[in-house]
Structure 1
Amino acid sequence: MTEVRILAPTGMLGAGFPPETVTRGLELGADVIAVDGGSTDSGPYYLGSGTAKTAAAAVTQDLRLLLKAAASARIPLIVGSCGTSGTDSGVDWVAGIAREIMAAEGLDLRIAVIYSEQHASDLDLRRIRPLPPAGPLDPATLADCTHIVGMMGHEPIVAALEGGADVVLAGRATDTAIAAAVPLMRGLPPGPAWHAAKIVECGGQCTTNPRAGGVLATIDEHGFTIEPLDPDNTCTPQSVAAHMLYETVNPYSMREPAGTIVVSEAAYSAVDHRRVRVEGSRFEPAEQHTIKLEGARVTGYETMSFTAIRDPHILGQIDTWAALLRKMIGEWVTRALGLGDGDYEFDLRLYGYDAILDGIEPDRSPPKEVGVMLLVRAADQATATAVAKVVNPLMLHLPTPDMDYLPSLAFATSPAETERGAAYEFVLNHAVDVDSPTALFRIHRLEATDA
């Protein structure tokens, strides 16, 4: 084919989009619908626990519209990083929703699922190397992970499509792979295909009004053109070029499993008041195909308390008050529970003062009110909650050293302690060398009888 048109309706399945923008994309001749289903942006919990960030109702709403659109236009639908983190359970969760929708709407679509979850015992440590700033991988760290996923490129997706799939529900995948798959499968040059895929990965974020819906990318042998799906929205050379600044170490290049997108010589020009043309992108194949590994493990169990201060006297010396609270937490917990520093840890944040920037906050003027968050972490939930309960009186009545009365602060909830359950941390930021782009991934065709 001389052209392939990619319809990117939104930056993430479940985030929502105006239905009429998808209709518009079909009218413009879309050849594939590609949408990301996940991210690591919200931290390690979703990978560690194998649960989704998005609500089932929101995913169902988006997926119903996209499945019906794909069926009516007879074009493939590709969803990557299903269930937020791309675990096997996340893929099955989205597949279950898709099957319910298809049954309710009478849609006859062939679904392929691609599993990307890895077992620690199957990974060859000799072929795993760290990505900055990670260090060499300890086998114990690998074994501690509750879930490990490999980030696939376009190749497993292409294999599923060539196997006859109308709908591909993939585990963890690069954001770009889901959009680049069909153009690459149909023989278009990798430079424009990968660069266009990067620009459309977040739907309308490359437009001047990201809330208005997604975009359509038309890729050809020399470059690609981007236009918003909302007729009243616009793309400008600046809004399109700026997306290479998003989630990249270098705005002129980005590594994929198969190689590197290079846009240092790309030219962005306005076709008209709402469309942008891009030419000059190239793709440099890598000598060694690699798959990025992501893994998370439990670091403890957390309990949170949140109180609020409006007392102007305390707020006038909030640093002194916070330092006193930190000191007294250690003393009270040791006296009441017999715990030392190694038995628990806590984080104290002053929202409305310096909770975000901490020590580099430039404005230290007294605020009018401050929310105080205490987050306790311990090896078990009971200990974390016990520590928070010991601290409860301090967060309710702690005065500054010069006060001769006990102030009353305001807890946000009752009970004041909220158990957050297991806490996780990312511990894998590594790449594994592979002999085949599809070797780590399992592709299955869902039959009508599959649960």
Structure 2
Amino acid sequence: METVRVLAPSGMLGAGWDHATVERGIALGADVISIDGGSTDSGPYYLGAATAKTTAKAVARDLRSLFTAAARAGIPVIVGSCGTSGTDAGVDWVAGIAAGVLAEEGLDLRIARIYSEQNAAGLKEYLDRIHPLPPLGELDAETLESCTHIVGAMGHEPIVEALRAGAQVVLAGRATDTAVAAAYPLMMGMPAGPTWHAAKIIECGGQCTSNPRAGGVLATIDADGFTIEPLDPAVSCTPISVAAHMLYETADPFEMREPAGTLDVRDARYTAVDDRIVRVEGSRFHVAGQYTIKLEGARITGYETVSFSAIRDPRILADVDAWAELMRALIAQRVRQTLELADDEYAFDLRLYGHNAVLDDLEPESGPPREVGVMLLVNAPDQATATAIAKVANPLMLHLPAPGMDYLPSLAFPFSPAEIERGAAYEFALNHVVDCADPAELFRTEPGEKTHA
């Protein structure tokens, strides 16, 4: 093939799009449809709990759009990081939804599942080949065992193997966002530099366009470079909008590491073909001396209860920082007195929304706010303790006067009860890479049979 056209309908499966944009991509000659099913963007909970961020109905709606269009065109569909975090449960969850959609539509497609979840016992055998990424240190067996779920971020190779084995739909576990879009073009012989760069640009669908909400994009890759075209005729790509995507989720705007090597766009040139389409040339890919797979793991840090109230009292808001300092001191004091808990047996955070809750000391504006939302977030070893601490704080959240006030104010609880149990809280525990001799050695593929209505 002299060119490969990759259709990226959106940045995430379940986000939704106008089906007409997918049909337009098919009409423009798309050779493959690729879409990301998730990432670590939404925090550690989805990996730690192996739970999807999206709802099943939204995923089914999007898969129906992709499967019906791809089946008519005879092209494959690739989904990466299924179920948000790419756990085995996430792959099976998406596969179950996919099977239902295919049955309802009377389609007959072969689905391959690629599993990327790892277990602590197996990874212990790799400890001498696992290296930390900043800011973490060396990995030990105890950290591995503390994780509820661990995944490896696959490159394009396992996806290519599944396609070569005859898969028409590939449902992959955790994968780099770019590997999902790069797999088919690389399999068809497209050069690595343009392929990886194009994959990076289209990983978030229409984010590289003048209207990210209007749908996805089509990347056409050839021997010398690639072009990016929006799927909505009313939307445009510009050299700036395309080049700017190298600033997104990268530590270096000129380099991006993949398992097999590094994308280098220092010499890339972005040219407007017309008022909608951009041409990119000069991208390079440097093959690494060692193939590596990034590991992601999450573990429970405790259990959380949250409470929220709102302040409109101008005397409190005149120096709300002093009020918050008093609140923190009184909560700690009453927890010691009432629950007999030491300060190191729990943790809480008091955030003032409307007053530096987002930027904190970096906030450039000054002056008292008109109203503030006060969020109390408690973390404790068990749910009952977290809720008990929030209940101890309840009278303070409702009636605490500022220093110097001679009356009890009434603040506003938006909920009854005021305490909301959030359940287990998670943190990312792994930011490491493992040296691999075989790009597929950490992954397991089930080729699957054709589905039947």
| Corresponding residue number in structure 2 for 1:359 | 361
Equivalent residues of 2:8, 2:205 under 8 A apart: yes
One-letter identity of the residue aligned with 1:125: L
The CA deviation at 1:449 is 8.3
Structure 2 partner of 1:13: 13
Aligned to 2:430: 428
The equivalent residue for 2:95 is 95
Q: Of the candidates 432, 443, 446, which is equivalent to residue 445 of structure 2?
A: 443
Measure the CA separation in 1 of the matches of 2:361 and 2:224. Answer: 50
Whether 1:52 and 2:47 are equivalent positions in the alignment is no
CA distance in 2, matches of 1:210, 1:319: 39
- Whether the 8 Å CA contact 2:109–2:451 is kept in 1: the answer is no
Whether the 8 Å CA contact 1:14–1:59 is kept in 2: the answer is yes
Q: Counterpart of 2:66?
A: 66
Letter in 1 for 2:14: G
- Residue pair 2:10, 2:17 contacting (<8 A) in 1 also: yes
Structure 1 position 380, deviation (Å): 0.4
What one-letter code is carried by the residue in structure 1 that aligns with 2:276?
Answer: R
CA distance in 1, matches of 2:393, 2:237: 53
Aligned to 1:30: 30
Task: Please give the TM-score of this superposition, normalised by the length of structure 1.
Answer: 0.99
Distance 2:414 2:135 in 1: 38
Aligned to 2:377, which of 357, 375, 379?
A: 375
In structure 2, the residue matched to 1:109 is 109
CA distance in 2, matches of 1:401, 1:356: 25
Displacement of 1:362 after TM fit? 2.6
User: Quick one: which amino acid aligns to residue 181 of structure 1?
Assistant: A
Please tell me the root mean square deviation across aligned C-alpha atoms, in Å.
Answer: 1.0
| Alpha-carbon offset, residue 359 of structure 1 | 2.4
Instruction: Tell me the SS of whatever aligns to 2:403.
Output: coil
Q: Does 1:250 align with 2:238?
A: no
Q: What residue ranges of structure 2 are gaps of 5+ in the alignment?
A: none
1:446 CA displacement = 2.4
Is the CA contact (8 Å cut-off) linking 1:353 and 1:364 kept in structure 2? no
The yes-or-no answer on 1:191 pairing with 2:193 is yes
Q: Which residue of 1 aligns with 2:42?
A: 42
Paired position in structure 2 for 1:225: 227
| Aligned equivalent of 1:122 | 122
Q: Deviations over 1:50-81 (max 9, x none)?
A: 00001111111111100111111100000000
Q: What is the alpha-carbon distance in structure 2 between the residues aligned to residue 448 and residue 270 of structure 1?
A: 43
The normalised TM-score by structure 2 is 0.98
- State the number of aligned residues: 450
What does residue 349 of structure 1 align with? Answer: 351
Separation of aligned partners in 2, 1:287 and 1:232: 45
* Partner SS state of residue 269, structure 1: strand
SS of the residue 2:447 aligns to? strand
Partner amino acid, structure 2, of 1:403: M
Structure 2 match to 1:169: 171
Q: Distance in 2 between matches of 1:257 and 1:112?
A: 22
Report the counterpart of residue 334 of structure 1 in structure 2. 336
Amino acid in structure 2 at the alignment position of 1:434: C
Question: Any gaps of 5 or more consecutive residues in structure 1?
Answer: none
What whole-Å deviation, never above 9, does each CA across 1:312-355 have from its counterpart, x for those lacking one? 11111101110000000011110100011111100000000011
Please tell me whether the aligned partners of residues 345 and 378 of structure 1 are also in contact (alpha carbons under 8 angstroms): yes
Q: Secondary structure at the match of 1:129?
A: strand
Matched to 1:411, the amino acid is F
The structural deviation recorded for 1:448 is 5.8
Could you tell me how far 1:447 is from its partner in structure 2?
A: 3.1
2:82 is matched with 82
CA contact (8 A) 2:132 2:433 kept: yes
Q: Any idea what the Cα deviations from partners look like across 1:367-402, whole Å, max 9, x if unmatched?
A: 110000000000000000000000000000000121
Query: SS of the residue aligned with 2:183?
Result: helix
Alignment partners' CA distance in 2, 1:115 and 1:72: 28
- Secondary structure at 1:411's aligned position in 2? coil
Q: Post-superposition shift, 1:135?
A: 1.1
Aligned residue type for 2:227: T
Distance in 1 (alpha carbons) for counterparts of 2:403 and 2:373: 20
Deviations along 1:65-105, one digit per CA (max 9) or x if unpaired, are 00111111100000000000000000000000000000010
Q: Identity, % of aligned pairs?
A: 70
Following superposition of structure 1 onto structure 2, how do residues 155-166 of structure 1 map, counting pairs within 5 Å? Answer: 155-166=157-168
Whole-angstrom distance in 2 between the partners of 1:300 and 1:76: 43
The 1-side partners of 2:26 and 2:65 are apart by 12
